[in-house]
Structures are given as C-alpha cells and as structure tokens.
Amino acid sequence: MNKCPIMTTAAGTPIGDNQNSETAGSRGPVLMQDYQLMEKMAHFNRERVPERVVHAKGAGAHGRLTITHDLARYTRAKLFAKAGNTCEMFARFSTVAGESGSADTARDPRGFSLKFYTEEGNWDLVGNNTPVFFVRDALKFSDFIHSQKRDPATGLRDNTTQWDFWSLSPESLHQVTTLFSDRGIPATLRHMNGYSSHTYSLWNAHGARHWVKWHFKTLQGNKTLTNEEAARIAGSDLDYHRRDLHDAIARGDYPKWKVQIQLMPELDADSYRIHPFDLTKVWPHKDYPLIEVGEFELNRNPQNYFAEVEQAAFEPGNMPPGMGASPDKMLQARLLSYPDAHRYRIGINYAALPINKPHCPVNTYHRDGQTRFDDNGGGRANYEPNSFDGPAEDAAIREPPLKLHGDTGRYAMRDEIAGDDDYSQAGDLYRLMSAEQKTQLIGNLVTPLKTVPRFIQVRQLRHFFKADPDYGARVAAGLGIPINEVDCRKASA
Ligand code: NDP
C-alpha cells in the first residue's frame, strides 16, 4: 500500500491530530490556540463563490476543435487559416434561471459557452442552444430575468410574472415559441445545437469585414424530452444532464458538433430586409446559407468541478485579431457584463486561473490585485511605453474602422426597418413544425398559461394569433377562451 503524505495546514506545517480539537481538560472548552480548527472552519465558511445570477447550474468538459474548411478569405485569425488546424477548448452548458442545485431537465434555454485556446489568445463564444433571445436591448435584460426568477415576496417562481413580461414584450415571441417547442428540453446536453445567436464579425488582412452568425449542430442528432419525461427524471436525478455528459465522456463516447457559419458582407447590413443586429431574429438559411467550418469533440472530463467548471470565466470580448463584435445592442452590453461578473464572483485575477489562462504568452501591464498567484510580472517594467523591451502594440492587427451614421439617441430597433415585425419568424417556426411538434407546443404553452390571470392570457393570445392564426386559435382553444374575446388589432404590429 502507498504511504499517505502527511497532512498539513495551509502553511505546510504537519498535523498530528485531525480527529480531536484541543480542549482545556478532557471535558473543558476548546482553546483558541487550536489553529488548525480555526483554519478549517474559516476556510469552510468561505468555500462558496457567489453563484452566477443566471446560468448557475452547469456542466463542462474539455475537447478539441478541428478546422475542416479554412476561412482565410474572411479572417486573419490564424486558427482559421487552413483546414487541419486544431485547438484545445473547454465547453460549459447550463440552464438559465435555476439555482446551482436546480433540476437539469427544466424547460429553459441552455447556455452553450465555448472557450477556444488559440495561438493568438482565447476565443470565447458565449451562446445558447437557441438561435434567438427574448429581448433585443440589454436595458430590458435585468427586468426580464427578474420576471423569470423567484418572486420577491414568496420566493417562488411565478408563471404570472413570466407571462406578464412576455405578453408585454412582443419581441420575445420567437424565443417563447422556441422554448415551449419540443426543443425546449433537450434529452441530454449532447443532443442539442448551439448558436452564437448574436451577430459577430470577421475581418481579413485587407480590412474587409463580414458579419457572422455561428452555428454548432449536434452530430448526435436533436433529441428532446416531453414535460412528463422531464418531470419524472427531475424526481429521481436533479443532475441528469451533468451525469450524462460526464458518463458519456468517461466511457469514450465523445460528443461532437459540426461548426458552421452564416456570412453577410458588411454593406449588406444596410439594406437587408431583416435587422442584422436584432437578437430576436435569425437570418433565414435561404438568404445566408450555412458554410462548413469545422467540428469539435468533447473528450476529457474535468478533474475538479470547482476549479474547472465553477471558475470557468467566458467573455464574449475574448476574440483573436480577425474576429470582432457587431453593433448588436445585447452583445455590446454583454461585452461589459461578463468580465464584470467574473471580477465580482472570482476576483480581478480570474483570467490567470488555469482554466481561463490562454495557452499562449500573455503580456499585459496589469499588476497586483487580490489573490495574485503568479510572479506578478516579476521585475519587468509595469508601464508602457518604456525603454526596457516591454511588450508593445502591433499596428498591423488593428481592426478596420466601421462607418456609422445618425445622431445619438434612444432608438427602438424595430422602427428602423419599414415592415419589420415581431411575429413573422415566430410564425415561420410554428409552420415548420410537424403536426406532432405543434401539438406538443400547444400543450406546453397551455399548461402554464392556464395559471395566469385572464387579461394576461388574452394579451399573449393576440401575439400567437399574429404569428399564425392557427397557432393562436389552438392556444385559445386550450385555454377555453373564445376567439372573439381576442381582438388581434390590440397587439402592436
Ligand atoms: P430553414 O427551413 O432553412 O431552417 C429551419 C431551421 O429550424 C433549422 O435550422 C432547424 O434546425 C430548425 N428547427 C427545426 N425544428 C425546430 C424546432 N422545433 N425548434 C427550433 N428550431 C427548429 O428555415 P429558415 O432559415 O427560414 O428559418 C425558419 C425558422 O426556423 C426561423 O424563423 C427560426 O425560428 C428557425 N430556425 C432558423 C435558424 C436559422 O439560423 N435560420 C436556426 C434555428 C432555427 P436543425 O437543422 O437542427 O433541425
């Protein structure tokens, strides 16, 4: 048998007794000088970092991305320079609204966060398993999340607050239709697609820019759970999805996703009939077909959940040269809110933790801060410019300028394009569903809607009708509300 190492305090001093506290006599009180007891209790009290406000419950795994079709024409990012390039990666999948101990099989969008450790720094793609989102302006985000999480008085999730918000926010209908469709509860994390949802950009060495949407198509096939199956599983295993991902990888059944993009030349954005930066809209495939890029595989489980999954810090602003953001209002806000959340949850030096640390040299002038655990830049210059060979900028990798027009102001995105609406794409989704999928969708909607006040039901029904009269009629029938009570003209177009 191997000899165990000697147990120590955090300072490395050997411990002689880990079973009995030091007391004044065998029946007397505990002594303050029992340093080991104090250290143990104090550390234990501080074991938790604040859970993420959203996406608290997650599962993660390591893997590898392989490029199968180069994007050299569109981006100078070295990762995409030629087919055959590979890079290590880490993925974290999550539910959105539930707390860190909540059931995996809830009806909820799934976070689909990917960190690629490229030779030019980390590329983080912080997406969802849905191609769109409930709101298109981050000014509404915290209100939206409040409406979905626990009621401040009762501490309970509340269908009324959820549907109140959705019925007052018609732009949410496309995502609501996705969420309550069969795909609203994936069978496992391996059986769902991922999407950047946002529009990002790619730019090449000549300064030409394309707008881009990323798609990650499961090669396991889309598989889903019904409400009944999900409830049964939640009753016996809250961690069903986390367990499934872990067990699949442990037995060598590595899940894979195809990586595809939609590309839009920069100037198309000015005339495209759909707002290209509206997070509640997709770009129909017939307008911008999918282009193959590569494939990724998840093939290694974390060795320590806290170190690798809980401390994984994804941020949409992490992009190597050749990749960029877009004017998508939600993306712009997320560029701030993700690193801001990490600084709060994990601390200012979160990027230096092993799970977040790039697999390439990091040369910043950041110094100090709480829990600085590397050499802190040693004796090297901590200011720039300097005369001592410190790292310097490279003008060759500046992102091309983007032409903007108009006056500063607060603009409603939907007003920008004549004829734009919040209903067509929700209707398109409804119409592409099979009869069985439509029946499931209607049932999934009617169950929670039955519990909310009638004025909210009626207001929401108007949105379903506007997306597709059959969609509205079937939900109305499920709720027992006569069609003449639902005056569609009252829903904003
Ligand atoms: P297409 O017929 O070219 O594509 C339909 C898309 O819908 C496919 O990506 C398919 O994904 C996906 N899909 C099928 N069933 C469901 C479902 N129950 N829930 C969510 N997605 C589903 O049509 P368009 O490109 O014109 O888009 C039509 C509608 O399809 C959109 O309004 C949108 O709601 C939905 N959609 C569109 C996407 C896009 O980027 N254009 C992406 C995803 C959804 P798969 O191939 O994996 O089956």
Residues 423-467 have pLDDT tens digits of 999 999 999 999 999 999 999 999 999 999 999 999 999 999 999
Q: Which atom of ligand 1 is nearest to the CA of 428?
A: 32
Spatial contact of 264 and 210, defined as CB atoms under 8 Å apart: yes
Phi, psi (5° rounding) for residue 90?
A: -135, 135
- Predicted confidence at residue 414, as pLDDT, reads 82
- From the list 85, 122, 128, 349, the catalytic residue is 128
pLDDT digit string, tens, across residues 80-138:
999 999 999 999 999 999 999 999 999 999 999 999 999 999 999 999 999 999 999 99
Q: Which atom of ligand 1 is nearest to the CA of 222?
A: 47
Spatial contact of 133 and 280, defined as CB atoms under 8 Å apart: yes
Q: Which atom of ligand 1 is nearest to the CA of 217?
A: 47
**Six token digits for residue 85:** 């390039």
- Predicted confidence at residue 143, as pLDDT, reads 97
What is the pLDDT confidence band of residue 489, given thresholds at 50, 70 and 90?
low
Q: How far is the CA of 421 from the centre of ligand 1 (A)?
A: 18
409: left (phi over 0), alpha (psi -120 to 50) or beta: left
H helices of 257-323, where? 268-271, 305
Residues 301, 63: Cα–Cα separation, whole Å: 9
Residues contacting ligand 1 via CB (< 6 Å): 131, 178, 181-183, 193, 217, 222, 282-285, 425, 428-429, 432-433, 437
- Predicted confidence at residue 440, as pLDDT, reads 98
Q: Taking the model in full, what pTM does it have?
A: 0.96
pLDDT digit string, tens, across residues 156-177:
999 999 999 999 999 999 999 9
Catalytic, 241? Answer no
pLDDT digit string, tens, across residues 341-375:
999 999 999 999 999 999 999 999 999 999 999 99
Residues 430, 409: Cα–Cα separation, whole Å: 35
Catalytic, 215? Answer no
Q: How far is the CA of 321 from the centre of ligand 1 (A)?
A: 31
Q: Which atom of ligand 1 is nearest to the CA of 427?
A: 32
Q: What end-to-end distance do the CA atoms of the chain give, in Å?
A: 74
What is the pLDDT confidence band of residue 413, given thresholds at 50, 70 and 90?
confident
Q: Which residue has the least CA distance to atom 24 on ligand 1?
A: 284
Residues 259, 193: Cα–Cα separation, whole Å: 10
Asked if pLDDT for residue 421 goes beyond 60, the answer is yes
Q: How far is the CA of 429 from the centre of ligand 1 (A)?
A: 7
